[in-house]
Structure 1
Amino acid sequence: MGMKLRQIILISFFIYSEFCFSSTAIVSAADFSLNNLEVEHMVQPLGLDIKEPQFSWMMQGDKAARGISQSAYQIVVKDKHGTIVWNTGKIANADSIGIKYGGLPLVPESRYNWTVKVWNQKNEVQEKSSWFETGLNLARSGSGNWDNATWIGGNDQDLPLHSQSLSVFRVKYVVQISSGSQKASFILGANDSRLMDKNKNLYNLKNATDKSYIKLEFDISRVNAGGEACINIYRQGYSKTDTLTPLTSIVIPHGIVSAENQNAKHNIEVSSNFGIFNFWVDGTQIELPRVNFWTTGYNVNPVGPGGDYISFPMVADIGFSVNKGEQANFSNLQILNYRAPQNALFTEPETTGDYKGIFSHKPVNGFTVQDGVYRLNGSANGVFITADPSHGSMPLLRSTFAVKNKEIASARLYATARGIYEFYINGKRVGNDYFSPGLTQYNITQLYQTYDVTNFLQGGKENAMGAQLAEGWWSGAITFQGENWNYFGDRQSLMAKLVITYRDGTKDVVTTNPKNWKFYGQSPVVLGSFFQGEVYDARKEKDLKAWTTSSYSDAKWQQASVVPVDAHTAFIGSWAHCMTGTVTEHNYDNFTLVGQMGPSVTNILTLGAQGVNEVRPGVFIYDMGQNMAGVPRIVIKNGKAGTKIVLRYAEMIYPDHEKSGENKGMIMLENIRGALTQDTYILKGGDEIIEPHFTYHGYRYIEITGIEKALPLAAVKGTVLSSISKITADYGSSNDDVNRLWQNIVWSSRANFLSIPTDCPQRNERMGWSGDLSVFSRTASYVADTDQFLRRHLQALRDLQDKNGRFGDIAPIGNGFGGFLWGSVGMTVPWELYQQYGDKSVLTDHYAAMKQYISYLDTKVNSKGLLDEATILGLGDWLGPEYSKNEPVFLWTVYHVYDLWIMANTATVLGHTDDAAIYWQKYNERKKFFNETFVDRTVHKTIQTDGLLMDTQTSYAVPLALGVFSEENIPYAAKYLAEACIRKNTDDNKIEHKPYALMTGFIGTAWIGKALSDNGYADIAYKMLENEDYPSWLYPVKQGATTIWERLDSYTKDRGFGGNNSMNSFNHYSFGAVGAWLCNYSLGIQRDPAAPGFQHFILQPQPDFKGGLTNAHGYYDSSYGRIESAWKIDDDSWSYNAAIPANTTATLYLPMDKKTSVFENGKLLQKGNGVTFIKYENGRAVYQLESGTYRFEIKK
């Protein structure tokens, strides 16, 4: 059948269906309403790039009314002309989520109106309408229709440099030592502002100008005597132990510098990767030893090598020196990006006239510049000269365009950036999101945003629009590895398309192009970096008043340039995974540009400062009272122009402890590591607001310097940023510390669900570590509606999946380490999403990738049947007190079995019966192998591969929770788990801990509560929950935690930071995986695995009958509505209240004696009125509940 004939037949059917139903359906005064009409989990989405979107809605009625349900529905979708493109007809079905579009092909850039009509159990009808708009790329292939819009930005000369913030870089120069001279030095890292202010460094140093620097001395003094030339490294003013003697001498082989060429020109290249130096002389790299796992070289940073430490040096000031009597020339000086394509950030052109470069500001005897050559003559006093090579700012782009003098029906802006952007039209900010387009694996998948800008335009006039760009995730610092600096590219660019539709049906299209757009490289945003912070010079605003209006003169601006993605602007090539050695090609051959998927980053809350302390003269530390991710909003009154205000951020302050030394009371930045985490604001004068827009920080404390006296608390706010705009669950109890634990889980979710699911929001990581997400994903799915957010992340996992099928330990970006437990995220997360939201499409989209991963695991099973990671970096129960006792391969095997179980179930759900049979067989085989290999056949305790006893909490909890123990071994494992919890345990440091200590790490913690509760030991789970001694969940709460910590002892009042100052995040959600247990077991709100999505669910409350909790209450906002659950224990009875949302049912398991009397709403429970008794089993009465509210009282 031809496409046109098929469409005619469908249209005829839709019209006939609407006629039939419209003539008979009567919308009555029903006892329910319709709300939350969503398309792809979004209300009235713009720019939807999907051919078959899914529809959902929610029935709502009187909470007290019982049995409200949907008996049928009908969806009608119409295009902008009112033509029906889809009419389901009346469908006798109770589903109200995941209804897939099945009409005529949707058209890009089009609005569709849709109406849902719902019949309830009484055949009463309600209907409600909404709309959605399609985007530019429904096929999700290539970039879509951008009407020839181009990526525009600056050129090579516009690459900015802020030298005080650049800690990963290269320097190139040519040095020529004059005959008769022996040494000449290049200077870098001079006058680092942190080392000139005793309040800004760990060592309390206060250096004068030119008293802190790194000096690289080219030394040929031993060459004539048969020795080797060398580069002597001097460090001055960086620590209290620095001396006038070299830190080391880098020997240059004879074959490079010899007696014959020692006075010739020599090309020197130096790279600095967070202070680890490497050297090239005349094109040959000097071989140096390994400094850490990642890199070779020589470390000059006094704090420590690499990105795990506060980073020194920055580029800072650069220069030259020679000793007295020495002469030398330098030339071809360049500062370059570290990562390919290694374009120059600073260079000075050769000039024949007067020198006006960076060294011209302070004449120094013996230093001249001629024809691009820096000439140094030390004569009697030597020469030492430095200067700041900084220049430029983050890019601005603007254009003007005419709007016809007729009525505008609509206007849509489609925009994206390589980098991050904020867009303006006629002087008004477009949208309220931060950091768009968000982080994805840009070389494969990038997002664009769609905005309704109808009300921004001025008909019959000249209009203007513009954008501010910044680094974002495209350029600058990203991850803990300096090798990833400028991971995607070295410059920012914008692509946009504005479509103006007039009431008469005509359209105008305005796009980015180099002809009509201009570029400006001197914006007030000097630097916008997630890790290094924002530098803002408000004095530059004077030249940019009304710069996004048509009245502004852009005569000083230059024409924008086309910015392609090629080997000149971006990294194009291959990289080897640090753990597996697998080579991955990084290119843009399969690039796809699609509309926004899931929530962006927005301002969700504003906090006020709770206190301020002037810890040193002029150093003011504000306590926000809550660890958070975001930026400050600081009001300055009557500021003086040119005043520099510096903001630094920390999660903790140094305690009153002997190990704090001179830093007592100061903010603790060691755990921020290689991230500078500093905002600098230069006042323009008068009243101003400091509110960075192109960075964010994880912090509780803000240090403010540069002000004369403390600002009022009301002047210091915290703008909380997150991709979680609504919390969908709550938990409360009789224990305030447990309640604080729940709030800590919520706050860590907010802080770390920021564009991607990060591990932490503060240090130089902020990346999507797979292991963290895998264990937390179930909790996350209760805390927030994570469906679209995590589906976006699954796309990144697929984008990075290697040719062997391995999922990345980190996504986006890749690399990292973790191994099988981390890679399982590609299996666990789609399954969690399917179970929570009932949407099969997440499994459909991910199925091929899941199969590839299972095939990868098959290849990693060695001849002994064991998974072999072939590296020391395959992690186990990370950060558990008994980490060394839990053999990693044991846990790898458990997760292998679980992955196969997920795979088999997924194949079954999707109807791939042949695949399912294969995976069920593999599952049974691996499960059998696990029980034969890791369980002692006599006593049934867990053992290692060498037969030694394991017998730990983790070794029982994880296989129990994931169904890996055999039926024979389950009762033994449950018993041994209980014993492992109630006994004293000794950790890896030989410290003995009291009973009920939490000895699990990231992996075990996620499952220990479930394993206990499923096997009749809920009382032990509660005792562990309520334990206040280390290690426990409440120990950090007792230490003042307001978020979940990376370590259960990240800080203690007696030991401070315990020596873990570096890897010590105070906002790390992994240990917060107990949140799922609080919802699923304490409250008892559980998914029904047989009916994903909560249309039918389980209520299985487990009150703390033997412990200290006397009540618990909370809710979960499912896709069908709010589920409420609460219990309370009294002297002679206990009560249970529940609310079942409309169009759902629940199976309730009430713990009780078989002869116990049960009252419902004050009356002895009888059959009917929404309650049906099913059976009594295992100490619980089982009931089926219809929608409505219930109040049960169970007499003891």
Structure 2
Amino acid sequence: MKISHLKTNHIVNPLGFAIDTPTFSWIVEETDDTVQTAAQVLVSYDSDFKQIIFDSGKVDGSLIDSVAYCPPITLQARTRYFWKVRIWGESENAESDPAWFETAKMDEGWQAEWITPDWEDNQTHPILFHSFELDARPVAARAYISGLGLYHFELNGQKVGDEYLTPYCNAYDQWIQYQTYDILEHIATGANLISVMLGSGWYKGRYGADRGETDFYGDRFALICELHITLENGEDVIISSDSSWQAQASPVLESSIFDGETYDARIGQSVPASGAIAGTQPVVIDMALLEARRSLPVKIMEVLKPIAVLQTPAGETVLDMGQNMTGWLRFKTNAPAGTRLHLQFGEVLQGGNFFRDNLRTALAEYIYIADGTEAIVEPYFTFYGFRYVKISGWVGELNIDDFTGCVVYSQMDVIGEIKTSNDKVNQLFKNALWSQKDNFLDIPTDCPQRDERLGWSGDIQVFSGTACFNMDSAAFLSKYGYDLGKEQAKCDGMVPHIVPMANLNKGGSAAWGDVATILPWNLYEFYGDVAILDQQFESMRAWVDYIKDIDESSGGKRLWTGGIHFGDWLSLDASDPTSRRGGTPHDFIASAFYCYSAGLVAKAAKVLGKDDIAEAYEQLSAEIKAAIQKEYFTATGRLAVPTQTGYVLALFMDLVPDAFRERVQDDLIARLEEDNTHLRTGFVGTPYLCRVLSNIGANDLAYKLLLNEDFPSWLYAINLGATTIWERWNSINPDGSISSTGMNSLNHYAYGSIVEWMFRDMCGLNPSTGDGTGAGFRHAYIAPKPDQSLQCARGRYRSAAGWYESGWRIDEGDKLTVELVIPFNASATVVLPDAHLSELTINNQPLQDGVQDGDQVIFTLGAGHYEIAYLNWQASSRP
């Protein structure tokens, strides 16, 4: 038995994060035991556990939950706590290694001040620096620091930490994050030097929904820094930013999220420089805005080597990274002093030549002015979305080995894997995962390359289920939810189109705004931690109340009519082919999500023990459903919204009168047949399309949509060499030409939501039955839906409860084998389709404890590895 993956608030050993109430989680693996019979959790001030502050004692296993356990302890500021767990099974027991978390300043006041260079120029990038002496050996040291827009922090000439783009992207007018660093290894007895280089970033650089032309959060570079150092002689030393600090010009001449960076190595980063030195002065920034970090570290998570150096027909030198990625290029150069190296970044070639028109106004470039010495070069304050890099001004022969692609995203584990017998489907899964990595850089962006890179609420709403299957997204999306709540509070319940709002003060669109309810419910189902519902509940409720107020003001019909919505964004069924908002009536989409979100608020309230509130929102949801049925269904059950998305929403959100459900299912199938069994859906309908088909007896059509290779389809992009998910179904034309440049990203994860169907339906792995029961995969719902168009499919997933596997293979035409792995102390309801109890074996023994329910068999399994064989399988066929 082994206990692994210990996390506090879904983070491994978090240092200086916002933690008011710690939640512990872990996984038990490498054991033949199946049930946790007893458990014990200890918390201590020391790693030897001699100063224990909490001991649960050895208690019944049902009393300690490995998915989300909250010890009743009160935390102190700037304190490290150690914890460990011992687990007993039926025959084995094990003790974990210690884990730890360390609190930030919490409610403690700041001695440091916000400071800015004492010069009039707000554009010159500064380095702020300060020297200090320590007259004894330091034995403990922490830095609490934030900079606006971005900061690069060095002590004694060494970078502190391995994070980039701190203090990250959030609603700076609502809160500003500070980070905590253990700096003991960077300081020493005697003289020490702290230097902080500042960049523009999201705070004061060109950024926002209007391409960054107006309304920055702020116009001055600023720094706050407080060092707490304990010396060997017992003395505590505090070094604080104030007007005694100095400033000098940085070698970073320009920096921009959209446009890139210019760096003049001749200026250098050494401090103090030989040039002009300026003082600093206080700058007025509300200290109440400072909060402990919630953002996961953004790091170089992977590196890629270029696969080719291309000489294009236009005479350009272009590096091909072989993968559309987010980050930057690191390179080695020894160019003569004054040489200007110019790198430009793009996603696609056109006519064999470098191309960047789809980046619109984003320059996406890096300029390095050499100082004549050999250097390893990379930017400090920007990132790019790219596959191709055009290099100009290179001196001498270009060596491909001198270049490395740094793939940068928030630190999250990849925890999901899909493999099938179809290589193109496997590539589709990889593309969705790459688009997630590339767009999960502190906020879930729509795209990483053009003059946008915004946290569009609709995109992450539709992708959040896939995101949680692919990567451990709990802490990352919890931070986004926190920002969402902050922004929503100043909008009277309206959810902005983008979070953080930057300079787009608009919102209130159906499906986009419903991120407020759908995202936290998904997080709860996947991770089983009630804290996310507690954090977001007022946001969830406020969004539904916002819609209800609109409803009441227009007569209280329990429908959402009017307003400006994005509709079924980028669907292919609009009567006007130039419209981006689709052919499904917006009032139907809005009313459907109104009903769905009200129901989710009721579910969340029930989990939180708010029974009166739950009852009220259940009633509201029921009233909306009744109004939708009255407005949009005829007396004979015909849905007056005969689009693919209309049918799919009605079925998925349970809006169809019971008596007419079969008719609506048939009408959806007929609609698909009229559309030549090709999808016509956009951002709203696509996430649910295959999921609905697989659950209404049209599983074969779901697979047909998955495996279509002509436009529009997922594999169309694979056949054209896509390595990420595109924004449009036809972002690239069959001849390789780009279809448009005004709004055409080649790295947009929304349509990657098909991966959620792959996990939930193709492989059959679901976190619960839909009401939150068994959340966190404590009790899963496993219902694989095979189809003969594939020979095999398998999903592997490290859930909050442990490793699950669910897959199937078809041999010799009619022999179906289902393989399942259920982790320690978990269980699952298993539903096998097209099955007869008498013709099933499990681990080579007859299956005896199942229930025949029509053409499916239902049974429950505990932890273990199972091989289930159909003695005679044939997929059901529709008439």
TM-score range, shorter-chain basis? over 0.9
5 Å-filtered alignment, 1:610-1009, equals 610-615=307-312, 619-636=316-333, 638-655=334-351, 665-707=352-394, 711-801=398-488, 802-813=490-501, 814-816=504-506, 819-861=509-551, 862-863=554-555, 865=557, 867=559, 870-871=562-563, 873-883=564-574, 884-938=582-636, 940-943=637-640, 950-981=641-672, 983-985=673-675, 995-1009=676-690
User: Structure 1 residue 887: deviation in Å?
Assistant: 0.6
**2:200 aligned residue:** 471
1:71 equivalent to 2:37? Answer yes
Contact 2:559 2:628 in 1 (8 A): no
5 Å-filtered alignment, 1:405-420, equals 405-406=136-137, 408-420=138-150
How many equivalent residue pairs? 852
CA distance in 2, matches of 1:154, 1:964: 60
CA distance in 2, matches of 1:864, 1:553: 69
**2:735 aligned residue:** 1054
The one of 758, 766, 773 aligned to 1:1090 = 773
CA distance in 1, matches of 2:614, 2:586: 28
The one of 782, 790, 793 aligned to 1:1099 = 782
DSSP-derived class of the 2:374 partner: strand
1:53 equivalent to 2:25? Answer no
CA distance in 2, matches of 1:1149, 1:808: 40
CA distance in 2, matches of 1:499, 1:769: 39
5 Å-filtered alignment, 1:419-568, equals 419-459=149-189, 461-481=190-210, 485=214, 487-515=216-244, 517-521=245-249, 523-541=250-268, 544-545=269-270, 547=271, 556-565=276-285
**2:862 aligned residue:** 1186
CA distance in 2, matches of 1:1051, 1:100: 50
CA distance in 2, matches of 1:123, 1:519: 61
**1:218 aligned residue:** none
Letter in 2 for 1:1005: T
Query: CA deviation digits over 1:104-148, x for unaligned, max 9?
Result: x211011122232222234745354222211101x5xxxx432x1
DSSP-derived class of the 1:937 partner: coil
C-alpha distance 1051-128 of structure 1, shift in aligned 2 (>3 A): same
Contact 1:879 1:1047 in 2 (8 A): yes
CA distance in 2, matches of 1:758, 1:1069: 9
DSSP-derived class of the 2:60 partner: coil
1:1148 equivalent to 2:840? Answer no
Contact 1:866 1:889 in 2 (8 A): no
User: Structure 1 residue 810: deviation in Å?
Assistant: 0.7
Contact 1:49 1:136 in 2 (8 A): no
- The gaps in structure 2 that reach 5 residues or longer are 575-581, 873-879
Contact 2:25 2:66 in 1 (8 A): yes
User: Structure 1 residue 48: deviation in Å?
Assistant: 3.4
User: Structure 1 residue 725: deviation in Å?
Assistant: 3.5
DSSP-derived class of the 1:1191 partner: strand
DSSP-derived class of the 1:701 partner: strand
Query: CA deviation digits over 1:599-638, x for unaligned, max 9?
Result: 12111111111122222565211111111111011222x4
The one of 67, 70, 84 aligned to 1:97 = 67
User: Structure 1 residue 1035: deviation in Å?
Assistant: 1.0
CA distance in 2, matches of 1:1046, 1:632: 24
Query: CA deviation digits over 1:764-792, x for unaligned, max 9?
Result: 11111111111111111111111111111
The one of 117, 122, 126 aligned to 1:159 = 122
User: Structure 1 residue 156: deviation in Å?
Assistant: 4.8
CA distance in 2, matches of 1:157, 1:851: 46
DSSP-derived class of the 1:895 partner: helix
CA distance in 2, matches of 1:1056, 1:122: 63
1:1078 equivalent to 2:758? Answer yes
C-alpha distance 773-878 of structure 1, shift in aligned 2 (>3 A): same
DSSP-derived class of the 2:511 partner: helix
Letter in 2 for 1:1066: L
The one of 810, 814, 819 aligned to 1:1137 = 819
Contact 2:840 2:847 in 1 (8 A): no
1:1126 equivalent to 2:807? Answer yes
Contact 1:477 1:486 in 2 (8 A): no
**2:697 aligned residue:** 1016
Query: CA deviation digits over 1:503-540, x for unaligned, max 9?
Result: 4543111111111x11112x211112111110011111
User: Structure 1 residue 715: deviation in Å?
Assistant: 2.3
User: Structure 1 residue 755: deviation in Å?
Assistant: 0.7
Query: CA deviation digits over 1:230-256, x for unaligned, max 9?
Result: xxxxxxxxxxxxxxxxxxxxxxxxxxx
Letter in 1 for 2:385: G
DSSP-derived class of the 1:845 partner: helix
CA distance in 2, matches of 1:128, 1:622: 45
User: Structure 1 residue 79: deviation in Å?
Assistant: 2.7
User: Structure 1 residue 463: deviation in Å?
Assistant: 0.9
DSSP-derived class of the 1:924 partner: helix
CA distance in 2, matches of 1:984, 1:826: 35
**1:1068 aligned residue:** 748
CA distance in 1, matches of 2:545, 2:508: 19
Measured on the aligned residues, the alpha-carbon RMSD in Å equals 2.1
Structure 1 length-normalised TM? 0.69
C-alpha distance 503-1187 of structure 1, shift in aligned 2 (>3 A): farther
User: Structure 1 residue 1151: deviation in Å?
Assistant: 2.6
Contact 1:608 1:716 in 2 (8 A): yes
User: Structure 1 residue 968: deviation in Å?
Assistant: 2.1
Query: CA deviation digits over 1:575-616, x for unaligned, max 9?
Result: xxxxxxxxxxxxx59x43222224121111111111222225
Contact 1:650 1:668 in 2 (8 A): yes
Structure 2 length-normalised TM? 0.93
The one of 77, 81, 91 aligned to 1:108 = 77
Contact 1:724 1:784 in 2 (8 A): no
DSSP-derived class of the 2:824 partner: coil
The one of 1157, 1166, 1180 aligned to 2:839 = 1157
1:121 equivalent to 2:85? Answer no
User: Structure 1 residue 83: deviation in Å?
Assistant: 3.7
DSSP-derived class of the 2:98 partner: strand
With a CA cutoff of 8 Å and minimum separation of 6, indicate the structure with the bigger relative contact order. Answer: 2
Contact 1:618 1:706 in 2 (8 A): no
Query: CA deviation digits over 1:342-384, x for unaligned, max 9?
Result: xxxxxxxxxxxxxxxxxxxxxxxxxxxxxxxxxxxxxxxxxxx
CA distance in 2, matches of 1:128, 1:726: 20
User: Structure 1 residue 466: deviation in Å?
Assistant: 0.9
Contact 2:23 2:69 in 1 (8 A): yes
Contact 1:907 1:913 in 2 (8 A): yes
C-alpha distance 1037-815 of structure 1, shift in aligned 2 (>3 A): farther
CA distance in 1, matches of 2:92, 2:845: 32
**1:88 aligned residue:** 56
**2:134 aligned residue:** 403
